[in-house]
């Protein structure tokens, strides 16, 4: 059984171009009929069914091809993204290295400034510090330790008991060379020859 279809439908069913349909009509390979100025072609029902099967296959193949093309596009996009990210990562590392170098240069220049400032302060204040040290030494040399006092009197052949009594009597009599602090219980002895006690 045959069905009447347009030349466009016939080209789709037969899988040939529109010109191929018209060529077959001219060669009497396809039966045709003209209605209202349009050409229609008779096609077997079997051809139409096969065409529908082929259409399903071609649709499935087409979907499969589209999936593969889409996958390939995604892979290409991912490759480009990875390349871009690697480039960004490299650029960021370079930027950080430059910043680190700048920070180190700033720190080094600050250290040099501090060193020069320290050296200037040292040259300015060194004499004053030395004067204070010397005055402190002078003050410290005004006093002697209890042990030093014992040594002085031992040289004069005094016994430990005699030296202790000498100190006690000097403190009681208000000898200014012996300064005793009752609160801290400390004894300061002014540096002297102590000839009167020998």
Domain residues of the chain, as ranges? 143-197
| pLDDT tier for residue 154 given thresholds of 50, 70 and 90 | very high
| pLDDT tier for residue 164 given thresholds of 50, 70 and 90 | very high
| pLDDT tier for residue 118 given thresholds of 50, 70 and 90 | confident
Whose CA is closest to 188, among 167, 172, 169, 161?
Answer: 167
pLDDT, residue 126, reads: 76
| pLDDT tier for residue 87 given thresholds of 50, 70 and 90 | very high
Stated pTM of the model: 0.31
pLDDT, residue 62, reads: 63
Other beta carbons within 10 Å of 23: 13
Q: Is 111 helix (H, G, I), strand (E, B) or coil?
A: helix
Q: Please give the Cα distance from 42 to 3 (Å, whole number).
A: 5
Question: Over 80: is that where the pLDDT of 141 sits?
Answer: no
Whose CA is closest to 142, among 176, 165, 186?
Answer: 176
Q: Please give the Cα distance from 35 to 103 (Å, whole number).
A: 90
């Amino acid at each position: 059984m045959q069905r009447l279809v347009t030349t466009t439908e016939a080209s789709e069913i037969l899988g040939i171009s529109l010109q191929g349909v018209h060529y077959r009509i001219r060669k009497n390979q396809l039966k045709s009929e003209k209605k209202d100025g349009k050409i229609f072609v008779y096609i077997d029902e079997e051809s139409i069914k096969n065409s529908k099967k082929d259409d399903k296959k071609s649709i499935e193949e087409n979907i499969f091809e589209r999936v593969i093309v889409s996958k390939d596009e995604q892979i290409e996009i991912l490759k480009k993204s990875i390349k871009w990210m690697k480039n960004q990562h490299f650029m960021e590392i370079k930027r950080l290295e430059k910043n680190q170098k700048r920070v180190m240069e700033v720190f080094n220049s600050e250290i040099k400034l501090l060193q020069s400032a320290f050296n200037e302060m040292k040259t300015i204040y060194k004499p004053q510090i030395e004067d204070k040290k010397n005055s402190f030494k002078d003050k410290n040399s005004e006093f002697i330790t209890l042990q030093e006092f014992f040594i002085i009197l031992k040289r004069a052949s005094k016994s430990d008991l005699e030296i202790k009594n000498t100190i006690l009597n000097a403190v009681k009599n208000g000898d200014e060379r012996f300064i005793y602090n009752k609160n801290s219980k400390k004894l300061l002895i002014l540096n002297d020859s102590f000839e009167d006690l020998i």
